[in-house]
Amino acid sequence: MTWPLLREELALLPGPKLADGQPSWTLHDPTRNRFFSIDWLTFEVLRRWSIADAEAIAESVSQNSTLSLNTDDVEQVSRFLGENQLLQTRPGTARQQAERLSKVRGSRFKWLLHHYLFFRVPLVRPDAWLGRWQSLATLFSSRSFAFLTLAALLLGLTQVARHWENFTASLVNTFTWSGLAAYGLALIVVKLLHELGHAFTAKRYGCRVPTMGVAFLVLWPMAYTDTNETWRLTSRWQRLRIAAAGIVTELGVAAWATLAWGLLPDGELRSAAFVLATTSWIATLAINASPFMRFDGYFILSDWLDMPNLHERSFALARWKLREWLFDLGEERPERFSPGKERALIIFAWITWAYRLVVFLGIAVLVYHFAIKAVGILLFVVEIAWFILMPIRQELRAWQQRWPAIRRRRRSLLSLLSLITLIGLAVLPWPGRISASGMLTPVAVWPVHAPGPAQLEAMPHAEGAIVEAGEPIARMVSPALLARRQTTAAQIERLRWLAASAGFGSDSRNRLQSTQEELATAEAELAGLDRELARYEPRAPFTGRLYDVDPDLHPGQWLTDKERLALLVGDKGYRVETYLDEEAIKRIQPGNTARFVSDGGEGAVLRLQVSHVDIDTTRVLDDGRLAAQSGGHVLVRERRGQLIPEQGLYRVTLAVESPIGALAGQSWRGTLVIHGEAESLAGRYLRNALSVLLREAGF
């Protein structure tokens, strides 16, 4: 077998010490501008690669170092070099290289898919330009400029505190068309400065910056700077400064923009300064500072921990831990860390998976809604398959490879039983318990009020007395109305006398006609006054019991307008009203039982039965006591004095079947639990998914 040769243009550079203290080296492929970190063992093998014999290389390393190697270790290094195209192409291996390259690239569909999900467009080659302007950039990275920036920030914050109302008003102005234009311009500027921060810092430490341009992540544009040569650096603190340079630059821009906002007059420049001082860098930090995607935050964390390929290493550790939890295979750890660090890396991997799941699902939904329907559905399926289903498939394939060991482990049986149990719990119908706030009110209730300022003559009934329909509840008198009635009655008597004494001449007939018209008007006014006075002697519209009678009421007492005297509660029973969303409405129907407990704990638990469910949503919440602002469960917004529900809600009425007891005579808010139809969790989610698909398909 012909021994493969290393490519002559490869460069071997010293690297930083690894976490276990052993030295490392960096292998640079200048053709592809790729860097490979290699450990001590690989370095010793490469030093002796010219021996051209695996057994001889292993023997030489074992004799001249403290390492103990065999031919398998040398062959593993050879495979690493071949898989990463670091060996010279020998005669007869061109076809193998082409097949390997074709396998890496994949099919045309895979190439198109990959370039839809992520691709780069290099725009400039800034390395020479960065070298010419490096002296100016050094001024902005000096300690003096840092202190000056801090002073600008403090002075700017002072101006913001003094003009806080104008500052908050500027936030509202950013939602106008001119404000959005200023935001777009400021965002372009700050992103350019962000990337220049990376580029100038890398150049200061002697790294070449070959390209800058725009990268597209699921067709979303983002600026990028090629700083791969930072792997040449042996100091992780230098790499850390390069990774953090973009965020530090934006924070510096925000500090100076804060000062500019305090000094500039109103206009577009001040709006742009406000955007730079607030929203743009906050949004940038929320994205770039996240270590869960391969943005600045990820590289900052990697360099700070001195752990290159942090995601891949934590993912491998988390997958190993998952297999141990499920199957107890006893496999060797991918890497060894301290117990605390191992737990932290596993937790970090799980958080990253959850974060990416939410982000990719969100991107998929946005792509679906903003693209053409058919294209949106296709891209949605692509993203779900690539980012979610494919990693699951790869892990299942790893389980398949370990199946002979998995089926022999007792832990595997326990995991299988747990899975069957979970599936059974998801499929098994569970009684639906729907909780909400509700209002307990009498079916028939009539509050007794004073119709106007009046004097109480009598209150014939006491608290708790039964009042028959048509029986007076109170007698009140209004002196002003009585005086008007007496005056009107006297006027009627006078007009009747004038009408009776009129003659038969033409003048008398004319006076008789006008007198009769005045008499009719006065009689109508008298009838209206009698009806008004009848309101001061309210009579029960139905048979009921009297509650909330003021014990301090006594004859002769003056009452104010609309003053409440008592509450008449009919004998037709009580009901509870609540409002539920569409999902809850699907699980209940008339006849379902329920329970009600008052918020204050008064009275016993009441048994209820659903009597009616509205078929249309409620546009206005009639009872504000069920609003979330008052302690209820309904989210509302106030508009023109009315409470408008934030989502579609249906009113549900329930009849009370048990004795009211201590709750009689009043309205009570409480907790309502309705026993809905039994339903499985899997069935609910499946029904929701099908309803969404049918709705989006236009059915």
- Over residues 513-538, the pLDDT tens digits come to 777 788 888 888 889 888 888 889 89
Q: What is the pLDDT of residues 577-594, one digit of tens each?
A: 999 988 888 888 898 999
Q: What is the pLDDT of residue 663?
A: 81
CA distances from 105 to 67, 102, 113, 373 (A): 37, 5, 11, 30
Higher pLDDT, 34 or 554: 554
Instruction: Kindly report the backbone phi and psi dihedral angles of residue 249, in degrees, each rounded to the nearest multiple of 5, phi listed first.
Output: -60, -45
Q: What contacts 130, CB < 8 A, 6 or more positions away?
A: 137, 199, 200, 203, 209
Q: What is the pLDDT of residues 274-325, one digit of tens each?
A: 877 876 667 677 778 888 888 888 888 888 887 878 888 899 999 999 999 9
Amino acid in the structure at residue 173: N
Angle at CA 287, nearest 5°, toward 380 and 169?
Answer: 110
User: What CA–CA distance (Å, rounded) separates 288 from 198?
Assistant: 13
Q: Order the strands of the 11-14 sheet from edge to edge.
A: 11-14, 25-29, 34-38
pLDDT at 115 over 60: no
Q: Is residue 437 within 8 Å of residue 457, measured between CB atoms?
A: no
How confident is residue 438, by pLDDT bands cut at 50, 70 and 90?
A: very high
Instruction: Kindly report the backbone phi and psi dihedral angles of residue 411, in degrees, each rounded to the nearest multiple of 5, phi listed first.
Output: -60, -30
What pairs with residue 558 in β-bridges?
455
Pairing of strands 564-570, 544-547: antiparallel
User: What CA–CA distance (Å, rounded) separates 369 from 380?
Assistant: 10
The number of angstroms, rounded, from the C-alpha of 81 to the middle of its chain's C-alpha atoms is 46
Angle at CA 22, nearest 5°, toward 21 and 24?
Answer: 120
pLDDT at 347 over 90: yes
Pairing of strands 544-547, 466-467: antiparallel
Q: What is the pLDDT of residues 399-426, one digit of tens each?
A: 998 898 888 888 889 988 998 998 888 8
Amino acid in the structure at residue 302: S
This model's pTM is above 0.75: no
Nearest to 634 by CA among 673, 583, 578, 587: 578
Q: What is the pLDDT of residue 294?
A: 81
Pairing of strands 574-581, 606-613: unpaired
Q: What is the pLDDT of residue 147?
A: 92
Q: Is residue 231 within 8 Å of residue 26, measured between CB atoms?
A: yes
Q: What contacts 169, CB < 8 A, 6 or more positions away?
A: none
Read off the pLDDT of each residue in 218-223 and give the average, rounded to a whole number: 76
pLDDT at 368 over 80: no
Phi-psi sector, 384: left (phi>0), alpha (psi -120 to 50), beta: alpha
User: What CA–CA distance (Å, rounded) separates 388 from 293?
Assistant: 15
| Continuous H helices in 501-631 | 506-534, 582-585
Q: What is the pLDDT of residue 346?
A: 93
Higher pLDDT, 485 or 511: 485
